[in-house]
Each structure stands twice: as structure tokens, then as C-alpha cells.
Amino acid sequence: MNATPAARLLTPEVLAGLANLELVARTAVEGFLVGLHRSPRFGFSQEFAEFRAYVEGDDPRFVDWNVFARTERTYVRRYQGETNTRLFVLLDASASMAYQSATVSKLQYGKYLAAALAYLASRQHDPVGLIVFDESIRHYRPPSSRAGSLQGVLHALDSTTPGKRTDIEGCFLKFREHMSRRGLVAVISDLYCDPVAMSRAVQPLAYTGHDIMFFHVLDPGELEPRWRDSVLFEDMESGQTMEVSPEYLESRYQQRLLEHLDGVRKAAGGMGADLMLARTDEPLDRALRRYLMFRQRH
Amino acid sequence: MLLAPLFLVGLLAIGLPLWLHRFARDTRTKEPFASLMLLEPSQIHRSREHTLKYLFLLALRIALLLLIVLAFAQPVLPWRAPPLEARDRTLHVVVLDTSLSMQQGERWTRALEKARALIDAMKPADQGMLVTADSRVRVVRGPVNASDKAELRAALASIKPTAARLDYGMLMTSASSWLGTNRPPTQFHFITDLQQSATPLQFADLEPPAGVKLVLQDVGTADATNQYVRSVGPSQHDANTLEVRVGGTAPPNTERTVILTVDGKERGRKTLSPNDPRALFPGIAMGPGTHRAMVALEPPDSLPQDDQHFAVLERREPRALIIGANSNGDDVTYFAAAVGALTNPRLAVERTGSDALSQNALAEYATLVVSDVGVLSNAATSAIQRYLEGGGAVLMTLGPRSAQQKRIPLSGHTVAGGGLGNRSEDGGARRVAAIDDSHPALRESQGWRSVRFFRYVPIEPLPDDLVLIRLEDGRPLLIERRIGAGRLLVLTSPLDRDWNDLGVHPLFVRFVGEAARYLTASAAAPNTTVGSVLPTRLGARDGGQVFDPRGRRVLALSDTAGSARLMAEHIGFYEVRGGGRSDWIAVNADARESELARMPPTSIEQWNTLQTSAPAAANGSVPNAEPRSELKSIWPWLLLIAVTLAFIEPLVANSHLHVRRGVTT
């Protein structure tokens, strides 16, 4: 039975009904893979690229011993994206990620996204690591492609709950201790921080060769807040309150939000990182497809 | 003024909504937001509409609490009630004629309209009373204040006309008893059709009680015609021809047909001749036994209730049983000869000894004659006793055997002197001193005073006895006594030449004949009128049931054993089942009700002026024309308003909160 494109889209509401995070990830990934018609360019490092001469430090496991036997030269197999094989998923679990105006919160959506990325990587036997942070690192799982590592990542994601404030700058300073080897770093956060400070914190990672990808997760209630009357907002992280008029939300807030998104995008671009805005009401497979298309273009 | 001022402490509860509203103002609902990083505080201007809603809700809640507290405190207000106008207070007695004739045409509708108008016209200080009158006078609703007119109207709606007869004399003479004496000045509104046949024999009986002003409300019409079936029975000339007699006048230009039905089968139709009020149905052969005949006139006229007539026809000779010590004795023979000489009704006479009686056989006899009741055995006494209780009729004499007993069998009288009966002190005969010649059994009373009584059994009359003949010494000679539904005539001297010379006197045959006719007529009565008392002939030991013409049980369970009489209320055949037999009683409307002729205007005028000159003092009233000062409690009204506010408050509160929430997604 051929499903219509609309039916293939897995809405966050549907995924929220699945209790098992692995099932969520598998459903989302398999769903969008079917939509890609088995595209050959879907992985991180699947494709064979070239042979190159062995240099010190290369993993001897990748030496092509058959060629060595014939030519007595040591070559190693090179794969496209070989340098990005390690996937670090950095999940922001601060209190602000618990915001929810629709079916799922930003944290839930981020967890689905992280699980789907992890599943996608492990499907290609790439090591997957996980760091859950708010104002400090709450959970760390080093990258591993061993059997059972995916379940470990998924279990860690599953047990993640909203924490306290966010301190991206401080956390990224610590990430460098854990991410000595290059890899793909997927940052899933609502990025409520100063773009300049963010740039300052993330730049060292970019300079060490990490391919950084920001998933800017935002709720529709944040992007398009609609209130008929004045409302007393309470900051979910600081607890501060502020009474805001609907007129402000419709005009000035929208303007400031766009400025912030633009600032974040510029900051990411300045450090060579990619940024993708993910709305929590967007179907997950569509977000993944957008991500892969985005990766393909760059 | 407050009856329970302590409840005012509850007013402190008003502080609760005040505090709640203040608290609610200070603690607005906080909406969580991811970050205030991009937000700035705004200058908030609350709308006037919201403020008004807020204040309205607060006022509503305070008012609700205030009303509840006040309701519990039971406030009363001084209220000056209008004076009762006791001087003008009048008791309006609305008497509705519910007799059969009121069902003619539109009479009943007009009567109800008049009654309604009278009730509506009563003043607030007046009293109203609703009464129906036919063969019985019923007070449907006792004196109620005119302010409760609804009660009178409801009672009026429940009244239905009956098939019974009304006698104006009975109504007016009984009025003083059911009106009572302690009453204000009374107006007696009599709503009737002023039927000529309802007037009593003595015009003076129409006089209203003292202090009662009669107001005749005429609902009759002068030109009303009615034709009805007067009787149905065997023709005098031919037993197999049934003769139907019709009374009244037929509606103009209407040809009416008489339909005869016997035992449920139509036996013939005859068209009535305008000049002949009879219709003969020859060749109606009916076997022995009881037959039910029904005659109907078609088409129905304006009073269709009397267009049907019911009759129970007996096709057997009533029998009389003479009981004596010896069935061939002189006394038995004498009695048999006297009863057998009776021509109307003709009785078949049988004789038996006292030892050959059976109860079932007794039920077939119209009357019994017992010569010297002392000869009866206990079993025979019991059998006759049951026969009597079931509506039988017995003529018995007391003789030598009776005189030997202390208590007379059947009648239960005590014998005053022992021995063989009293003799006169001078040895001569006693004669009759007093005779009640109005009694049907003594219509032919000439000759009683010439009869000599040498001896008799002296008995003490019981309180409910009717002494018909007394001897010179004051002792009773002939007594009538009711036992159950039956009648018993007791002659205290036997048919014996040693005791009297009654047997050789010409009076004897006449007396026995009249007594037998009286007893037979009173015992049978299978045809009667509505409002009459029916003998059910149900004995206390056997029990039974009576079914009215609609097939409904008449007797309650407690009455099924031994209810000797009941009042017939419906036209048709009543069936009496009991004692192993089933009897039918035909009940018809009284023919006088079918006569719609009105009272002459002069009689009506005389009746209107027939007022007692000295009206009774209105001692039921207390003159008091001053306005009454009363305390009127208003807590029910306060509670009612509070309940209304309690329904409004959630609506207003919901509207208010809805604005405050204000989320659209």
C-alpha cells in the first residue's frame, strides 16, 4: 500500500504517542528513508572515495592489505566524510526547553531529533556520543559504535528531564575536553543566549575541525505568540515575571525575535557552522529530510 | 424586624468575596514562557469593560451572600391586611342538582357555568361550599374561604351527574343538618331544572332553614320533551306477549323504534305509534327461570339515559313453604289453604315437617310460614336463620312448644312468663287494643278487634322491633323484625282453637294473604330504581359478591361476607353471586326523573318567597371592620432571589475569567 506524502509525515503528536524512543527514532528514520527512494547520498561516511597513502597515525585496520601484497605499498581506503564519522549530539536540557504550547515540548522534540540522528548514524555503524547539558554537563556518553551503544544513548535521552538555566559558553568550554577527535557535532537547543557569546564559545570547536550543526528548536508559541489580553509571563529559567501587552508581542517582539534569529544564524555562519530552525510542530521526518538536503548542498 | 437576628453574623462572609477579588487582582495567573530575553515590559491599560465586569461580579457575589444571610435571619415586614369585612361575610352554598333530568340537553353544561360564575363572584371575605343533591346530599367541599376559589373550582370539575332522583323536599328539610348552625348569613344557590316531579307532597317541606336565603338558579327549559320506557312485562292477556309501556312525549317529527332484547338476544322491533304508548311483542316464549329483558328506544333523544329499561322477568310461580310439627296437621293445613287462596301473587304452596328441612331448598321459596316455631330442631332453626339473613321472609307463630323455651328461636325474643302462655286473669279472652293499620300486612285490618285470644306467648319486644298489634294488656301480638336482609313477622299466638279463634274468623285468610303478599314482595324486588337499597341476600356465613352493570365488583373484600344491602347507583343489571346461586336485579332510573315538566311559575314564586321570617343569628362571624396589622415574612422571596443569583453568578464569573485567560490558539 502506497502511503500518501502527507500520511508519511510523522507529526510530533503521533510520535509522542510512542512510548519507546528507539521506536520513535526508527519510525522517523525509516519513514523519511522510504521517502528518499533509497538515495545513495544519505549517510555520513558510507561511500568509498579513494585510496591514499598511509601516514602515521592512520588506523591500520583501514590499510588495504591486498594492494600492499601486490605493490608493497601501503594504502588506506578513504571514504567520503571519513572525518565526520563521529557524531556528537549535544542536547540542551535547560528549563526553557520545557516550554510547550503544542503537543510536545521543545525538549521532547529535541529528544526525538537526537534519537533519530543517533539511529541514523548507528545504522551506518558510526560512533554516536551524547552530551546532555543545561548550565553544566548533566550526562556524557562517549562516542561508540559498539553494539548496544545506541540503546545506551536512547536510554540516556529517555531519562532526560528539564533542568535549570542554560550556560552554553561554559558548557562548550567543557565539551572540548570530551571531543578531542573530530566529528559531527549536532547541537540541539533553543539558543536563548547572546549570539556573540555563543560564537565565542563554539568557535574553538569549529577550529579543531568539528563539523558543527545547530538545530535551533523553537515552539510555535515562541515564534508567533498570540494573546488577546495582556499577559504576565514568567521566565522558566530565572522565574522572573514580566507583564507584556499583546500589542508588543505582535510587533516589537516579532522584530526582536527576527533580529535574534538572524544574529544566531550569522554567528553560526561566522564559525562555519550550519544552523537549521526546527519548529516543534514540524513533522520529524520532514525536519530530517530538510537536514539531509541541507547537508547535501554544503 | 428579624425573627432570627443571630444569623446576621453570617454577614461576615461578605469579606470572603472582597478578599478573593483583591487576592485575584494581586495574583494574576502567570504564564510560563521560555525566556524573557526578547521581551520588554509593556504599559498595560485595562479596558473599562473588564473593570465593569469585575465590579459586577463582586457585587453579585456580595448580594448573593447578603440575601442568604437575610433569608436565614427571617425578616418580617409589617403588613396591613385588608379588613375581613366580617359584617358582609356570606356563606355561599352552591347546590348542584345532579339528578338524571340534569343530563337533558345542555342543562348540565349550563349548571356548571352557573356554578363557576357563582364561585368567581364571591367576595374575598365570603365563604363557599359546594354540595350535590340527588337521592343523597353530598357536601363535596366544605366551607372554604373565597380566597381559595381554586379548591372550589377543582371540586366542581370532579362532579358528574348521576341517574338518581332528587326530591326537593328531602334536600330542603335536610339542609339545616348539613349546613350546621354556626354559620354566617347564608345564600343557598340551588342550580336545578325546577322539575315538577321533584316537588314534595307537602309544599312546606321546601322551606329553607332559618337564616338561609334561597336563590334558585334555573337551568331548565320550558319546551323540553322526553320519551322514556316506563315498564316492560308480560301482558295481562297473554303470558307469552311482552308489553312495553312508554311515557313522556317524543321529540317532534321523530319516529322512535322500540327494540326488545331478552337474555342478550334481540327479540323484536316495533315502531311506536304517536297515539299509543304501548308496544306489544307477541310470541316471546321464555322457559322457566329468570330472564333479563332490555328495552331500548332509538334514535336517542335529548335525555338518552332513560331510553333503556331493564327488567328481570320471573317465569316461575313463587312458592311458599308451610312448616309445622306435622305436615298434615290442622295448623299447617289452615295456613296452606289461606296462602293458596292468594291470587296476586299466586303462590305455589308446599308443606313439610320440621324435620325435613334443608337449607338449599329454602332458598327457592319466596316465603316461609312456621307454625309454632318451638317445634323446630336446631338444624332447622339454623337453616331458616340463614335464609332470613339472606333476604328471606318468614311468618311464624308462637305456640305451646315456643312457650316452653326461655328464648324464642329465630327472633331471639325473651319469654316473659313461663308455662303454656298467658291467660287472662278473669279467664276471659283478650282482644286487640292497638293496630298499626298503615302496615301493608294489615291493610285489611277490620275484624281484628273481634278476634278473641285466650292465650298467647308473652314476649319482650326488642328495641328495633316494630310492634304492629298490641293486646289489651299491652303485650305484643304481632311484631315485625328485621334479621339480616330478611323480614320476620311474629304472631305470638298459634293457629289453635285452644289459644284463639283466629282460624275460624274471616279475617284469617285475608291476614295470611296480605302478610304473604307483603313478605313476598319485600323479599323479591328484582326490579328497582337508582338510589334504592338492594337486598343482596348474602348471608354472613356464605358470603358472595355483587357486580354492577359495568361488571365491576361492588362489595369491598370486607363486605363480601354478610353485606345485606347496597345502594344501586347505576342503570342496568346487578348480579348477586353467593350461596351457590346467581341472582339478577334490574335497576332503572326513577320514572319521575324522566318527566321533564317544570314547576308552575306560581309555585316557583311561592318557593322564592318561602323564607323564614326570623333569620338565624350569624353567630359564626366576628364583626371586625378594622384593617388587620400582620407581620408578613419575606424570607421565601429573598431565598428565591438568592437562588436566581446563584444561577447567574457562574455565568458572569465564567465570562470574567474567560477574558482574563484570553488565549487563542
Predicted confidence (pLDDT) per residue in B405-455, tens digit = 888 888 888 888 654 556 655 567 788 888 888 788 887 667 888 888 888
Residue A9, pLDDT > 60, answer no
Contact B430, B471 (CB under 8 A): yes
Smallest CA-to-CA distance from B661 within B32, B26, B42, B30 is with B30
Q: For residue B152, give the C-alpha cell.
A: 372550589
Q: B227-310 adopts what CATH topology?
A: Immunoglobulin-like (2.60.40)
Contacts of B54 in chain A (CB under 8 A): none
With H, G, I as helix, E, B as strand and everything else as coil, classify residue A141. strand
What pLDDT is recorded for position A91? 92
Contact A267, A197 (CB under 8 A): no
What pLDDT is recorded for position B560? 59
Residue A19, pLDDT > 70, answer no
Look at A230-244, B160-174, B344-358, B461-475 and tell me which has the smallest mean pLDDT.
Answer: B344-358
CA–CA separation, A75 vs A24, rounded Å? 41
Q: Which of A106, A242, A252 sits opposite B36 (nearest CB)?
A: A242
What pLDDT is recorded for position B514? 83
Look at B277-281, B326-330, B585-589 and tell me which has the smallest mean pLDDT.
Answer: B326-330
What pLDDT is recorded for position B627? 54
Residue B390, pLDDT > 60, answer yes
* Pairwise CB contact (< 8 Å): A245 & B37: no
Look at A113-127, A258-272, B33-47, B416-430 and tell me which has the smallest mean pLDDT.
Answer: B416-430
Look at A14-18, A234-238, B95-99, B332-336 and tell me which has the smallest mean pLDDT.
Answer: A14-18
Strand A87-92 to A75-79 pairing: unpaired
- pLDDT per position as a tens digit, B286-338: 776 778 899 998 888 888 888 889 998 877 677 888 888 888 888 888 888 88
Q: Does A255 touch chain B (CB under 8 A)?
A: no
Question: What residues of chain B, 17 to 46, have a C-beta less than 8 Å from chain A?
Answer: 28-44, 46
What pLDDT is recorded for position B294? 92
Contacts of B31 in chain A (CB under 8 A): 231-234
CA–CA separation, B338 vs A4, rounded Å? 121
Q: Does B614 touch chain A (CB under 8 A)?
A: no
Q: For residue A172, give the C-alpha cell.
A: 562548550
* Pairwise CB contact (< 8 Å): A190 & B35: yes
Contact A154, A22 (CB under 8 A): yes
Name the band, by pLDDT with cuts 50, 70 and 90, for residue A79: low
Look at A76-80, B150-154, B605-609 and tell me which has the smallest mean pLDDT.
Answer: A76-80
Cα torsion angle, B544, B546, B550, B556, sign: negative
- Closest CA in chain B for residue A105: B34
What pLDDT is recorded for position B614? 43
Contacts of A235 in chain B (CB under 8 A): 33, 35-36
Q: Does A252 touch chain B (CB under 8 A)?
A: yes
Q: Does A227 touch chain B (CB under 8 A)?
A: yes
* Pairwise CB contact (< 8 Å): A229 & B36: no
Look at A263-277, B146-160, B517-531, B601-615 and tell me which has the smallest mean pLDDT.
Answer: B517-531
* Pairwise CB contact (< 8 Å): A230 & B35: no
CA–CA separation, B530 vs B99, rounded Å? 10
List A242's β-bridge partners, or say none: A233
What pLDDT is recorded for position A28? 60
List all residues 6 or more positions away from A124 whose beta carbon is below 8 Å from its beta carbon: A43, A44, A45, A46
Average pLDDT, stretch B540-562?
71
Percent of chain A with pLDDT over 90: 11
* Pairwise CB contact (< 8 Å): B34 & A230: no
What pLDDT is recorded for position A202? 82
Residue A16, pLDDT > 50, answer yes
CATH superfamily for domain B319-524: Class I glutamine amidotransferase (GATase) domain (3.40.50.880)
Average pLDDT, stretch B279-284?
86
List all residues 6 or more positions away from B80 whose beta carbon is below 8 Å from its beta carbon: B627, B628, B629, B630
Contacts of A226 in chain B (CB under 8 A): 664-665
CA–CA separation, B273 vs B255, rounded Å? 8
With H, G, I as helix, E, B as strand and everything else as coil, classify residue A269. helix
CA–CA separation, B585 vs B128, rounded Å? 40
What pLDDT is recorded for position B521? 65
Mean pLDDT of all residues in chain A?
77
Name the band, by pLDDT with cuts 50, 70 and 90, for residue A258: very high
Strand B91-97 to B127-133 pairing: parallel
Alpha helices in chain A (DSSP H): 5-8, 12-16, 21-36, 65-71, 106-123, 149-158, 168-178, 195-207, 220-223, 246-250, 252-270, 284-297
- The torsion angles phi and psi of B133, rounded to 5 degrees, stand at -140, 125
Contact B598, B541 (CB under 8 A): no
- Greater confidence (B345 vs A271) lies with A271
What pLDDT is recorded for position B110? 92
CA–CA separation, A64 vs A123, rounded Å? 24
- The torsion angles phi and psi of B395, rounded to 5 degrees, stand at -110, 125
- Closest CA in chain B for residue A225: B665
* Pairwise CB contact (< 8 Å): A257 & B38: yes
Q: Which of B30, B35, B659 sits opposite A241 (nearest CB)?
A: B30
What is the phi-psi region of residue B474: left when phi exceeds 0, alpha when psi lies from -120 to 50, beta otherwise? left
What pLDDT is recorded for position A297? 54
The total of other beta-carbon atoms located within 10 Å of residue B67's CB is 21
What pLDDT is recorded for position B192? 92
Alpha helices in B472-506 (DSSP H): none
* Pairwise CB contact (< 8 Å): B34 & A245: no
Average pLDDT, stretch B103-127?
90
CA–CA separation, A50 vs A41, rounded Å? 16
Q: In chain B, what are the domain boundaries?
A: 5-29+45-80+633-661, 86-223+597-609, 227-310, 319-524, 527-591
A vs B, Cβ pairs < 8 A, gives 82
List B415's β-bridge partners, or say none: B459
Look at A129-138, A207-216, B513-522 and tell me which has the smallest mean pLDDT.
Answer: B513-522
> What is the distance in angstroms between the Cα of B49 and the nearest Cα belonging to chain A?
13
Residue A230, pLDDT > 60, answer yes
With H, G, I as helix, E, B as strand and everything else as coil, classify residue B469. strand
Polymer length in residues for chain B: 665
Name the band, by pLDDT with cuts 50, 70 and 90, for residue B542: low
Average pLDDT, stretch B131-151?
85
Mean pLDDT of all residues in chain B?
81
Name the band, by pLDDT with cuts 50, 70 and 90, for residue A83: very low
* Pairwise CB contact (< 8 Å): A229 & B659: yes
- Closest CA in chain A for residue B27: A232
- The torsion angles phi and psi of B459, rounded to 5 degrees, stand at -125, 155
Strand B459-460 to B414-415 pairing: antiparallel
> What is the distance in angstroms between the Cα of A232 and the nearest Cα belonging to chain B?
5
Largest CA distance in chain B: 148
Average pLDDT, stretch B345-361?
74
* Pairwise CB contact (< 8 Å): B44 & A245: yes
Contact A211, A84 (CB under 8 A): yes
B137-145, strands of its sheet edge to edge: B137-145, B127-133, B91-97, B186-192, B212-218
Q: Which of B31, B38, B665 sits opposite A231 (nearest CB)?
A: B31
| DSSP 8-state code for residue B650 | H
CA–CA separation, B336 vs B323, rounded Å? 10
Contact B163, B100 (CB under 8 A): yes
Q: In chain A, what are the domain boundaries?
A: 5-39+84-297, 48-79
What pLDDT is recorded for position A11? 59
* Pairwise CB contact (< 8 Å): A260 & B41: no
Residue A280, pLDDT > 80, answer yes
Strand A128-133 to A87-92 pairing: parallel
CA distances from B432 to A55, B299, B449, B483, B511 (A): 170, 59, 5, 26, 14
What pLDDT is recorded for position B621? 41
Residue listed under C-alpha cell 459586577: B56
With H, G, I as helix, E, B as strand and everything else as coil, classify residue B498. coil
The total of other beta-carbon atoms located within 10 Å of residue A139's CB is 15
Q: Which of A234, A245, A247 sits opposite B33 (nearest CB)?
A: A234
Percent of chain B with pLDDT over 90: 10
CA–CA separation, A287 vs A111, rounded Å? 13
CA–CA separation, A76 vs A50, rounded Å? 8
Average pLDDT, stretch A107-132?
86
CA–CA separation, B139 vs B135, rounded Å? 13
Contacts of A280 in chain B (CB under 8 A): none
Q: Does A1 touch chain B (CB under 8 A)?
A: no
The reply to whether CATH 3.20.20.220 applies to domain B86-223+597-609 is no
What pLDDT is recorded for position B45? 55
Q: Does A219 touch chain B (CB under 8 A)?
A: yes
- Greater confidence (B296 vs B3) lies with B296
> What is the distance in angstroms between the Cα of B651 and the nearest Cα belonging to chain A?
20
CA–CA separation, B379 vs B367, rounded Å? 19
- Per CATH, B86-223+597-609 and B227-310 having the same topology is answered no
* Pairwise CB contact (< 8 Å): B35 & A228: no
Contact B574, B280 (CB under 8 A): no
What pLDDT is recorded for position B482? 85
What pLDDT is recorded for position B618? 43
CA angle (B199 as vertex; B195, B201 as ends), nearest 5:
155
Residue A183, pLDDT > 50, answer yes
Q: Which of B36, B38, B664 sits opposite A228 (nearest CB)?
A: B664
Cis peptide before B463 (omega within 30 of 0): no
Residue B98, pLDDT > 70, answer yes
DSSP states along B141-198: EEEEEGGGHHHHHHHHHT----S----HHHHHHHHHHHH-SS--SEEEEEEE--BGGG
What pLDDT is recorded for position B402? 86
- Greater confidence (B47 vs A86) lies with A86
- pLDDT per position as a tens digit, B482-497: 887 788 999 999 888 8
Percent of chain A with pLDDT over 70: 79
* Pairwise CB contact (< 8 Å): A234 & B29: no
What pLDDT is recorded for position A78? 61
Contact B387, B485 (CB under 8 A): no
N-to-C CA span, chain B: 56
> What is the distance in angstroms between the Cα of A86 and the nearest Cα belonging to chain B?
31
* Pairwise CB contact (< 8 Å): B42 & A244: yes
Smallest CA-to-CA distance from A28 within A8, A50, A1 is with A8
- Greater confidence (A75 vs A131) lies with A131
Pick the CATH number of A5-39+84-297 from 3.10.20.90, 3.20.20.70, 3.30.360.10, 3.40.50.410: 3.40.50.410
Q: Does B660 touch chain A (CB under 8 A)?
A: yes
Query: Which of A235, A237, A250, A252 to substitute to test the interface with B, most B CBs within 10 Å?
Result: A235
Average pLDDT, stretch B270-295?
83
Average pLDDT, stretch B108-112?
93
What pLDDT is recorded for position A61? 77
What pLDDT is recorded for position B414? 87
With H, G, I as helix, E, B as strand and everything else as coil, classify residue A258. helix
Residue A197, pLDDT > 80, answer yes
